[in-house]
Amino acid sequence: MKKLLTLMCLAVGALSLAAPLQAQETKMLIAYFSWSGNTKSIAEQIHQKVGGDLVEIEPVRPYSRDYNTCLDEARQDQVNQARPELKTSIDNMARYDVIFLGYPNWWATIPMPVATFLEQYDFRGKTIVPFASHGGGRLGQSVTDIAKLSPQSTILEALSVSYGGGSSLSSDIDDWLDKNGLKK
């Protein structure tokens, strides 16, 4: 009997330890690439609303700060299907179930550092929630390209934001989170 009670106590103890660990494991990651700051501020707003961890996807070799030079560099990277090396590293991707992935529309798709990011980690079984800032081309073919690079993930409806989003950004994010069932 004493042995049984001890076993029961151990089991209850193990369960109460497991609960907070599980809660930690459902953390969200908000990862974004941004060149002129629009995607960064959208990512920060999403982070304020959903919590989790916020990380910038940064290439080792930054793109030129000159707009026209950056256009050329980005185009070249896309034509070559380059995979620019990243400064960013995620400690333990396994603990994230939901990854918000933000980027500017570059030449109608994702900037190539985002492709590096998608290839560098294992997104199998994870949920990816794309959001993009654009200058008129909305999502372009970015979501199709994300799906090609992470075929075994679930990809939820993407948010497209014109430049910085303007005064309706906060409510647009709320509506989008709602639609995707991600409201806190």
Ligand X SMILES: Cc1cc2nc3c(=O)[nH]c(=O)nc-3n(C[C@H](O)[C@H](O)[C@H](O)COP(=O)(O)O)c2cc1C
Nearer to ligand X, 59 or 104 (CB): 104
DSSP, residue by residue, 35-65 = SSSHHHHHHHHHHHHH-SEEEE--BSSPPPS
CA-nearest of 104, 86, 91, 96 to 41 is: 104
Closest separation in Å from C-beta 35 to ligand X: 3
38-50 vs 169-179: helix crossing angle, rounded to 10:
60
Nearer to ligand X, 125 or 166 (CB): 166
Closest separation in Å from C-beta 42 to ligand X: 8
Closest separation in Å from C-beta 175 to ligand X: 20
Closest separation in Å from C-beta 16 to ligand X: 44
Tell me the H-state helices in the chain: 2-25, 38-50, 67-79, 112-120, 142-149, 169-179
Instruction: Note the residues at the interface with ligand X (CB under 6 A).
Output: 34-40, 70-71, 74, 104-108, 133-137, 140, 163
Nearer to ligand X, 87 or 95 (CB): 87
Nearer to ligand X, 96 or 131 (CB): 131
Nearer to ligand X, 70 or 86 (CB): 70
112-120 vs 67-79: helix crossing angle, rounded to 10:
50
CA-nearest of 97, 70, 68, 94 to 84 is: 70
Closest separation in Å from C-beta 47 to ligand X: 15
Sign of the four-CA dihedral 110, 111, 116, 122: negative
Nearer to ligand X, 37 or 151 (CB): 37
Closest separation in Å from C-beta 46 to ligand X: 13
Sign of the four-CA dihedral 183, 22, 54, 61: negative
